[in-house]
Amino acid sequence: MANAAASVLKPVAHDEQLNTGLDAKYREEMAELLSQVLISTYQLTIKSQIYHWNVVGPLFKSLHELTEEHYNALFEAADIVAERIRALGHLAPATIGETSGFSPKGKDVDHGSAIEMVKDLITDHETAVRTMRKAGVKADEAGDLVTADMLTARMTFHEKALWMLRAIITQ
């Protein structure tokens, strides 16, 4: 009985053939790229929240509020990205091994000054944008307008975040 329940609840990709104009090989490659986007989104979510909790000094209020805005937006974005992976007929990361990259490693979270925290977030946002741009170009070339549009919206968020983070530490 327990095995039957477990097999019913086990996530599976679509069994049917998708006929949306996107070939299977492309959908598989894009699902992998979007999984990388999802991982970087989660890492930034967690890191933004850690810095939100721990920032001190003259930049406290502005960074505390900005990182809260960012981690809330990033958390919502993770759902959007995961749902797009599912719409392409693939599973979003579902096992402990597949999701192990969601959390930044301890040494990757800089508990230094507020300026060091911001510089660290800038690096991660830039990395996320580069990954999304690569996926967006591939989506555009494949005629996958939905994925390209989603990635454009995500890059818009990250580039605005970069502008704001840089503005905070400019002297």
Its pTM stands at: 0.83
Q: Establish if 13 belongs to a structural domain.
A: no
Which tens digit of pLDDT belongs to each residue from 76-129?
999 999 999 999 999 887 555 555 555 555 555 556 788 989 999 999 999 999
Contact 70, 125 (CB under 8 A): no
Cα 76 versus chain centre, distance: 10
| CATH number of the domain where residue 51 is located | 1.20.1260.10
How far apart, in whole angstroms, are the C-alpha atoms of residue 91 and residue 8? 15
Report the percentage of the chain scoring pLDDT > 90.
65
Kind plus residue range of the DSSP H or E element containing 11: none
| 104 or 65, which is more confident | 65
How far apart, in whole angstroms, are the C-alpha atoms of residue 169 and residue 72? 22
Q: Establish if 78 belongs to a structural domain.
A: yes
Average pLDDT over the chain, rounded to an integer: 86
Count of the separate structural domains present in the chain? 1
Residue 154, domain extent: 22-169
| 27 or 111, which is more confident | 27
Band of the pLDDT at 9, cuts 50, 70, 90?
very low
Q: Establish if 7 belongs to a structural domain.
A: no
pLDDT at 135 over 90: yes
Helix axes 60-87, 114-141, angle to 10 degrees: 20
pLDDT at 45 over 90: yes
